[in-house]
Structure formats: C-alpha cells, structure tokens
Structure 1
Amino acid sequence: MENRALPSLGGDYRALVLGASGGIGSAYLSAFRKDPACTVAVGLSRRDDGFDVTDEASVSAAAERLREEGAAFDVIICATGALTIDGVGPEKTIRTIAPDAMAAQFALNAIGPALVLKHFSALLSHDRRSLMAFLSARVGSIGDNRLGGWISYRASKAALNQIVHTAAIEIARTRPLTVVAALHPGTVATSLSDRFSAGHERFSPDDSVSRMLAVLDGLDPSASGSFHAYDGQSIPW
C-alpha cells in the first residue's frame, strides 16, 4: 500500500496526463508508471503528440481517439499552463498590459483547461471514485493577493479556478463519486519558474507531484471543485 500513488482508489486504476512533456506533467506520468496499481498511464503533450490545449480541434480529436479505443480513466491530470508565453513574462504594472499577451495567457491557462473539461470529463469512470486535477497557482487567488502585479497570469488562473469550481458542480450530477480540484504545486524547479524564483524555496517536480497526489487522494466528493495547495491547505478564492 505504501508504494501506491493513490491508495483511495482501492484497486487497479488508469491514469491520463495532459501536458506530459513538461516538468510537472512528466513527474506525474512517472509517478503513475511506477505505481503497480496503475495498469494504464497515458501521456499526451504538444511536443510528443501534437496535443494543443489551445486548439479545440486538437483537444476534441485526442479525446475522441481515446473514446474510440474504449478508454476510461480513474485519474485525469491537466498539467498544461505557462507563466511566460512567446517570450512575454508577467507584467509588473497595469501600465504594461498588452492585449495579445493577456489573450494568450487566457487561451492557455483558462480556455484550454475548459476545453479539457468539455471533451475529457466524459472519459472519467462512472461507477467508482475518480479524480480530475488542474494545475492552478496561489497567485490566482483574489483573496490572497496582497502584492499586485502579474495581472494577466493572475487573472487567467482565477478564471481557471472558477471554471474548475463550476464544472465540478455539473460533473457531480452524473458522476457523484468524482473529485475535481485545482491544485497549487508550490514553487517547482522547472523552466516556468527559473526567472522568478529568487528567494523562494523550490521543490523538485517529483516532490511537488508526490505532495499534490497526497492532497488529491485525501479529498472526498464533498470537496470537489475546491482549490488546495501542495501542503493540503485550502486556498481562498
């Protein structure tokens, strides 16, 4: 039991990781593939499979391909997202907002996960506990924002949190044993955080994923639609 990534799932389970070529996504996929209870661990990414979360045709085609193969999953992890897109990082002030850069943040960090929910939630198991998690960020919390800045990234993650919360309510109507959650991974040693992590403790991707899996494992269906940090703390909206 101690070697299992997700003891709460009971018996064998099947896992899908979207964004599996990134630092955190690849750590999730590795954790599942090392777990003897995980009988299937599928990873999709733009780099390896042409899976583009910002393109609905790509998202729909990937989900339909898995559906035609008869795939059903007990765990779906959406590990897509970015802080810097096309070389443009987070703004330090509202005076530097660029509409195109803000739209790109929303396309990847909010609309993309919404498309994942639209097309992939139907692949979750119907009759047993299942889990669906999305990488959010503490800076997406409106209630916890005391520093300002990073407006586009903050707003895109706040939008993601609302999307997750709303979708969880709908999913519960047909899959009452499913938990949908937004997770803050902490500051992780990946290319996403390299330029912005001075003075912050950074976790390895494996450590962050292990902590997030423990949090996800401990959530019951009544907590579906919630927002938690890697240490289990609930984060204010």
Structure 2
Amino acid sequence: MNTYSTSEIAHSIGIHPNTVRLYEKLGLIPKPERKENGYRIFTDFHMEQIRFVRIAFKIEILQNGLRKQAIDIIKTSALGSFSKAICLTKHYLEQIKNEQKNAEEAIEITKKLLSGSNQEAGTTFLTRKEAAGYLQLSIDTLRNWEMNGLLTVKRKQNGYRVYTDEDIRRLKIIRSLRCANYSLSSILRMLNTLSRNPEADIRQAIDTPKENDDIISVCDKLLTSLHHAEQNAIVMLSQLEKMKKQFSENPTL
C-alpha cells in the first residue's frame, strides 16, 4: 500500500493540509501512524476515505437529521466497516427520497387548496387562539408567520385579530409547506408570485430564489437541493463499493 505525507495527500486531493488534520481530529479519517520524527504516514485507504468525506460533504442537507446521518456514515467508513456504511447510506438515500415525496405532496396540497380560492367566502371569524387550535399550531407559530409577512390579518374595532376562511386556507398552505421543510422565505416568495400571477408555476416559484437575495439556504430551493442530495448519495454508495473491493473490512493501517 502506498504511503503519503500530509502535504502529499492534501495536494493530491486539492485541499489544505490543515483540512486533513481537521478530518483526523473529527474522526472522519483514521488516525495515521507516525514516523519517529512525528510526521504522519497516510495510506491509500486514507486517500479514498478523504475523497469519500469530500463527496458526502458536497451537499448541505440539514433537515430531519440527514446531516448527522451523513457524518455517521463517514465515521463508520473510517473504521473500515464498509458493509455497515453501505447499509447506512442506503437508509440515508431512502430518507432523502421520503423528503422528496413529502415536498412534492405539499405542492399538490397547495394546488388543491388554491383551486378552491375562488369559492364564495364563508362567514367564519376565528380569534388567534381559535385559529391556532383549529390548525393544531401554536400561537407563537402564527405570530411568527405574520411577523415574516406570510399573512396579514384584519382586526376588529377592538383591536383583536380575526381569521377568515381565506386566512385559514392560506395558513393550511403555509403549514403544509413548512411540514415539508420549505423555508419561510421560499413560501413567501411563492405566495407573492401567485398574488401577482395566479397562473404562475408553483414548483418554479417556490424553488427559485431571486438573484438579488443576499442569503440563500438549501431550504430556499428545497426541490433542487433534495434532487442533488439523491444524486450525491448514489455517488457515495459507488465510492463505498469501490473501497470495499479495494480494501478489506477494518483494514490494517
């Protein structure tokens, strides 16, 4: 098995030597043996494991513990437990697919709710507490959505907010999309787009941040992010299969 110094392995992969040391400190690669002078000795297994780390960290997925799963997979691979890492990655891929399904279902629910927006409005008037109870949301959640501009609620003469049928329909849309992990900014973007053009493409509106947005998170383009995460997980599986063939389980370093 070939051996490498810290600078050699860093140069080969295209990262800073300090990144290699950080991966070692975090347990993302095995601790290398050292020469008598204290210099680290890296092997082909370290080389492929670092490549695997770079693949796994290429996509930023934070929701529902996916990030933690990716780290667990990396650490399992670092121990040379490739078969277990492959099983964990398959589970990781399955959860990503479930997240995609939830995201798509939320859009379909949104379409159905919006299709009834032209129905004759009823005479329902709920207080904030009643609306929260009806939708099974906390009052703080409703307050947060209003503060972020997702909903503007009318008030009675006494100053109390009242939620109409149209407000409840809009809140159901927001709730459905938030449960699927769409960001508040992406939901607001979609709602504003639809208010200007009711015929606008919902999927495009919710998945396409504005060019002048200062900060864009993965959940601001959730559909695209999950698609990339799925493709990335497939590449992770391929790398693990390669390592399993190239190295024995729990290789001696």
| TM-score, normalised via structure 2 length | 0.22
RCO greater where, 1 or 2, for CA within 8 Å and sep 6 or more?
2
**By percentage of residues, which structure has more strand?**
1
| TM-score, normalised via structure 1 length | 0.23
